[in-house]
Amino acid sequence: MTLCDPALDFRDFVSTLLERKDAVRIGTEVSPHLEAAAITRRVYDTRSPAPLFENLTGAAPGFRLLGAPAGLSGPGTEFGRVAAHIGLAPTATARDIVEHLVRAMHAEPIAPRVVDKGAVQENIRTGADVDLEQFPVPLLHQQDGGRYFGTYGYHIVQTPDGSWTSWSISRSMLHSRNTLVGPAMPQQHLGMIHRMWQERGRPTPWAFVAGAPPASLVAAGMPLPEHINEDGYVGALAGRPVDVVRAQTNDLYVPANAEIVLEGYISPDETAPEGPMGEYHGYQFDDPREQPVFHVEAITHRNDPILPFCVAGVPPEENHTIWGTMISAVALDVLRSNGLPIDMAWCSYEAATCWIVLSVDLDELRRNPTTQSELVDAVAGVLFSSHVGWLVPKILLVANDLDVTDITDVAWALATRHHPATGTYRFDDAPGIPLVPYLSADDRAAGRGGKAIVSCLQPTQLAGVTSGSTANFDNAFPDAVRERVLRNWSSYGFDS
């Protein structure tokens, strides 16, 4: 009997969600043209179970879609789907997940295990039989420039000398029956390796994985340093190696039990318009851009394949729950490794990965007092010079007497502890991702600007002391009173 392994097998991941009632089978006929996406957006808004669409208009029999694979769930298991990606219990907290990711970053990498065959090659189509239209590729927003095949998968590319294999997330839009088009920004690992092949005048050997082992999707979303192979990090996350099998048409290795794998190459010079698309920051701009063309020479897939998808937009969705969480873990590790007094980092999902909140350790400040400007400069020097710091434009500093994973605490700190005249520090020369919506055209052209650190620290907290006490349930009543209230809560007539 094969054990269920939701971190390393997407099919097991879906089964686990169904068993937990955190996914629901939808047998009613649903159109991939906007309807599936509309249902999924409503799922995000209501924190409902992930929809598994099993009866899709125009799709080949058995072909399925899964929406909101890492959407938030209900109270007590909010992060359950994210936790399932890395083998944690559905009750795992934000801190549990981030600390697990950080530990894995320092664990010995476990290299993939090469196998002769895998479920992903149950069906193989090459050459003239390649047809991406066989899949129920969804139209996600009515303003989108096309249908997006790749919103919850990752690209696999390797440097020409074979020394670095990158698994990285980037979207891809359907261009024709055998081509996709999508971004490969030069600051991203996909773009770095693509440029190496371009400089040799050669196409980039490429594969795309959909319905990947969930832990590998997490690893692909981590802003790890360049020249680090994500495939070994997958093993460190899951505690076991991920099985890989050689691709049909090139020398890349792909997850053996993935749902779908596309194989081919990225053209060294061919581009086509991509977008517009509703973005992770919650806006859509009418500006399709020329992007590289990805040629598909082979498709392999499991029987009854499941294509997972994310409907990007106003948070929370997977850009925030997966990408934002991975950014949090890497940022925390970078800051800790440099000796800064930070005990947690969290990209508030509600802020659309446009800020990261750093929890400042008051005990450490009590031992080693500092000034606000010294702390800000130290944080900026470490974070804004790193790859992970390139991704997030704003940093909020909040003392650890509050919970930085609780947006209510963060809002309260911003409102009551941030001094508008002395608490905002601009870093106009710091490099940053050009997708931030408030950037000017000049900012985007320069690749800099729009970066800031906002201090929500009381002046006394820089010496480790909080002024005043918090007037809330935990602090404003004696232990005996709080215990009696909790013990009698149901008898008062409230839901327990």
Q: What's the pLDDT at 282? A: 86
Residues 13 and 19 sit within 8 Å (Cβ to Cβ): no
Sequence ranges of the binding site: 167, 171, 188-189, 219-220, 222, 230, 387
Q: What's the pLDDT at 467? A: 93
DSSP 8-state assignment for residue 251: S
Instruction: Give the domains, in start order, of the chain with CATH numbers.
Output: 10-309 (2.30.110.10), 339-463 (3.40.1670.10)
- 161 exposed, middle or buried (CB, 10 Å; 0-12, 13-18, 19+)? exposed
Sequence ranges of the binding site for K(+): 167, 219-220, 222, 230
Determine which one of 279, 297, 317, 318 is catalytic.
279
Q: What's the pLDDT at 1? A: 33
> SS3 of 381, please?
helix
Sequence ranges of the binding site for Mn(2+): 189, 230
Burial 201-222 (b: 16+ CB within 10 A, else e): eebbbbbbbbbbbbbbbbbbbb
Structure tokens at 199: 């400089």
Cα(358)–Cα(360) distance, rounded to whole angstroms?
A: 6
> SS3 of 246, please?
strand
Q: What's the pLDDT at 64? A: 98
Could you read off the pLDDT tens digit of each residue along the chain, which spans 496 residues?
345 699 999 999 999 999 999 999 999 999 999 999 999 999 999 999 999 999 999 998 999 999 999 999 999 999 999 999 999 999 999 999 999 999 999 999 999 999 999 999 999 999 999 999 999 999 999 999 999 999 999 999 999 999 999 999 999 999 999 999 999 988 789 999 999 999 999 999 999 999 999 999 999 988 877 788 888 889 999 999 999 999 999 999 999 999 999 999 999 999 999 999 998 898 888 788 999 999 999 999 999 999 999 999 999 999 999 999 999 999 999 999 999 999 999 999 999 999 999 999 999 999 999 999 999 999 999 999 998 999 999 999 999 999 999 999 999 999 999 999 999 999 999 999 888 999 999 999 899 989 999 999 999 999 999 999 899 999 999 999 999 999 999 999 998 6
Cα(343)–Cα(305) distance, rounded to whole angstroms?
A: 42
Please say if 279 is a catalytic residue.
Answer: yes
Cα(98)–Cα(92) distance, rounded to whole angstroms?
A: 10
Cα(91)–Cα(174) distance, rounded to whole angstroms?
A: 37
Q: What's the pLDDT at 3? A: 52
Q: What's the pLDDT at 2? A: 47
Alpha helices in 281-423 (DSSP H): 318, 325-337, 362-367, 372-383, 387-391, 407-417
